[in-house]
Amino acid sequence: MPPQPNMQQLMKQAQKMQRDLMAAQEEIAQQSVEGSAGGGLVKATMSGAGELTAIAIDPKVVDPDDIETLQDLIVAAVHAAKDEADGLAAKTMGPLAGGMGGALGIPGL
């Protein structure tokens, strides 16, 4: 039978993980990422937490007879920014998630 985990030690470990996670989430939220489409003609800026904060559109891409292309470029730029935000989160949270092991890193589980 494996030894019983020390509950006080487990609680300390869980509290540290929670503090680390909250700090990482705050760090992510304060960063900004950008995605672009159409060779940079449309740019979307997003917080690391995934909040869209700005759209920049080069006047060259504005064609009243072809609104569909502009709409597609905006959607593509937002998707690219979201991918960047997701990558930032994975990079920042990766060490925390990787350190969890098993059932939240709790020995014996």
> pLDDT digit string (tens) for 57-66?
999 999 999 9
In this predicted structure, which of 8-12, 40-44, 49-53 has the lowest mean pLDDT? 8-12
Its domain, for residue 32, covers: 28-95
18, part of any domain: no
Question: pTM for this structure?
Answer: 0.67
47: β partners:
32
- How many independent structural domains does the chain possess? 1
77, part of any domain: yes
Percent of the chain with pLDDT over 70: 82
> pLDDT digit string (tens) for 3-25?
666 888 888 888 888 888 888 78
85, part of any domain: yes
Which band of pLDDT confidence, cut at 50, 70 and 90, is reported for residue 2? low
For residue 54, the number of C-alpha atoms closer than 13 Å in the C-beta half-sphere is 8
2, part of any domain: no
pLDDT at 90: 84
32, part of any domain: yes
**Amino acid, res. 1:** M
CATH code for the domain of 81: 3.30.1310.10
